[in-house]
Amino acid sequence: MTAASAWEQVLDYSNRANPYPFHAELRRTPVTKLPDGTYVVSTYAEIASLLHDPRVSSDISRNPAAAAAGATGDDLDGPGMSPTFLSMDPPDHDRFRRIAMRHFGPPTTPGRVAGMEVRMREIVAELIDGMADRNRIDVVDDLAYPLPVTVICELLGVPPGDERRFRVWVDVALQSTDPGLDPETQQKKRAEAGTELGAYMEELVEAHRKSPGNDLLSAMATDDGPEGRMPAEQLVSTGLLLLIAGHETTVNLISNGALTLLRHPHQLQMLRSDPDLAIPMVEELLRYEPPVHFVPFRTALDDIDIAGTTIPAGSSLTLLLAAGNRDPAHFTDPDLFIPERRNNQHLGFGGGIHLCFGAPLARLEAQIALTEFAGRIRNPRLVADPPPYRPSPFLRGPSHLPLDIDGVAGKEHGRPGPGPPPPTPAESHPSPAGTDAQTGPARGLPR
Ligand code: HEM
């Protein structure tokens, strides 16, 4: 198989449940040129190096592949909206990221994320209590989606109930990133979602500016800190970036996590008896089943010599983070899920100046959700393995994860929970390619 056809297989929906054999194929040529001129980078050392290379731009308006797909900096973030700092280079990237970060994390606001922990536990407890009388649940709809969406809304100051308004537009915006769609349809979907989301966020920012509360949007909208106030149009696009990035990815981390634990009953039992294992386990999940599989639309600003290839200035790059995460040159037994490996050098949150802004929040949510899932859900069994997947090859995760269960344990009885005797470690590490039990074809339903 040629590297270019391996990439086609990665994008092909029928491989969404298990793209890893095609990643292995791509790693044979660390830097692969596709017929459209894009370079796909798939090995750990090369991805890490390019993530930190100032000759690699995130500015979408410079990217030839984005232009060919009909996307400019403006309309990727929504027509008429400013690009966010995600698609900017220094110095603008650094300035807008700092203004937003002042209200989200240390040193100025060290308590914002930690202060949500009690509330996160409350939300998870309520969600699991709500499963008490059921013998079938859907991890995506009943836990993995409602937790992060509620948390990010409360953090930003988005009124409860607005989720129903923005849900549809966010789905359309995400569909527009599906490389399987023709450029015209992608652009139409982007325009449709961008207009609605932009108008919605503008209204919200204005309301918070006039009547600020104790939330992130109000803080950003009224900040006259050392770097000045964020321009109004930046506030709108940053608000949307945080709202969308703040939940869509974490949904996948929790549902990929539950699926992985069900495929590894020994590790599920270990988490039941030792909740502290959640910390390294979530890091291992970010390596083994990362919610963001690749970073598209980077541009070489200069000729870059790497792994025996010269990437010419002006070329488009795609960094295949998920393949780097399973590079045997960097990780021992990369296709095994080993929570105790205590490795935090995965590429799940990217790297360099664009390293994920919300990582502490996502980690905490996933640690709490998965610990309570392990401790309280009685005898969970997968209804379908693999489950149906969401369409995107880039934000990858199940669209639904139905489980049969025997009810839930009370909060106080959650840990350590009763459970079947753990299988031996040999039984629980059978997956060379990342999906242990391929019992049927993957046929996804959009969520
Ligand atoms: C498991 C959950 C998450 C994963 C896997 C994830 C992954 C990533 C990755 C790979 C990047 C780098 C993108 C690039 O280099 O172009 C990134 C950037 C970013 N993430 Fe996350 N993310 C998660 C959760 C969150 C949350 C909860 C928030 C907000 C509260 C957030 C906000 C952002 C922002 C604003 C950026 C852009 C940073 C910059 O350009 O400087 N993410 N994320």
Question: Can you state the angle between helices 359-376 and 146-156, rounded to 10 degrees?
Answer: 140
Question: 245 C-alpha to center of ligand 1: Å?
Answer: 6
Q: In this structure, what token pair is assigned to residue 272?
A: 């039941």
Cβ neighbors of 410 (< 8 A, separation 6 or more) are 376
Please identify, by atom number, the ligand 1 atom nearest to the C-alpha of residue 104.
Answer: 30
Q: Which atom of ligand 1 is nearest to the CA of 85?
A: 40
Whole-number Å distance, alpha carbon 437 to ligand 1 midpoint, is: 30
> In angstroms, rounded to a whole number, what is the distance separating the alpha carbons of residues 242 and 255?
20
Q: Tell me how far the alpha carbon of residue 145 lies from the centroid of ligand 1, in angstroms.
A: 17
Q: What residues of the chain score a pLDDT lower than 50?
A: 72-76, 79, 413-447
**DSSP letter string over 290-314?**
-SB--EEEEEESS-EEETTEEE-TT
Q: How many CB atoms lie within 10 A of CB 266?
A: 16
CB 232 within 8 A of CB 347: no
Closest approach atom of ligand 1 to CA 86: 40
Q: Tell how far the Cα of 296 is from the centroid of ligand 1, in angstroms.
A: 14
In degrees and rounded to multiples of 5, residue 90 shows phi and psi of: -60, 150
Is the minimum distance from the CB of 251 to ligand 1 under 6 angstroms? no
Cβ atoms within 10 Å of 440's Cβ, excluding its own: 11
What is the atom index within ligand 1 of the atom nearest the CA of 100? Answer: 35
- Chain segment 265-320, per-residue pLDDT in tens: 999 999 999 999 999 999 999 999 999 999 999 999 999 999 999 999 999 999 99
pLDDT at 175: 76
Domains defined along the chain, listed by start? 72-289+333-428 (1.10.630.10)
With a 6 Å cutoff on the Cβ, whether 245 touches ligand 1 is: yes
For ligand 1, is residue 291 a contact (CB within 6 Å)?
yes
pLDDT value of residue 361: 97
**Residue 247 Cα: closest atom of ligand 1:** 27
Is residue 153 lining ligand 1, measured as CB closer than 6 Å? no
| Ligand 1 pocket residue status of 241, Cβ below 6 Å | yes
Angle between helix 232-263 and 146-156 (nearest 10):
150
Burial profile 368-407: b = 16 or more Cβ within 10 angstroms, e = fewer: bbbbbbbbbbeebebeebbbbbbbbbbbbbbbbbbbebee
Q: What secondary structure letter does DSSP report for 115?
A: T
Check residue 77 and give its pLDDT.
Answer: 52
- Atom of ligand 1 lying closest to residue 241 CA: 35
> Ligand 1 in contact with 86 (CB < 6 A)?
yes
224-242 tens-digit pLDDT: 888 888 999 999 999 999 9
Q: Is 389 in the pocket of ligand 1 (CB under 6 A)?
A: no
Q: Please give the distance, rounded to the nearest whole angstrom, from the Cα atom of residue 221 to the centre of ligand 1.
A: 21
Is residue 278 within 8 A of residue 371, CB to CB? The reply is: yes
Cβ–ligand 1 distance for 395 under 6 Å, the answer no
- β pairing state of 56-57 and 295-300: antiparallel
pLDDT for 429: 33
Q: What's the CA-to-centroid distance between 349 and ligand 1, angstroms?
A: 6
**Beta strands 316-319 and 39-41: pairing type?**
parallel
246 lines ligand 1 (CB under 6 A): yes
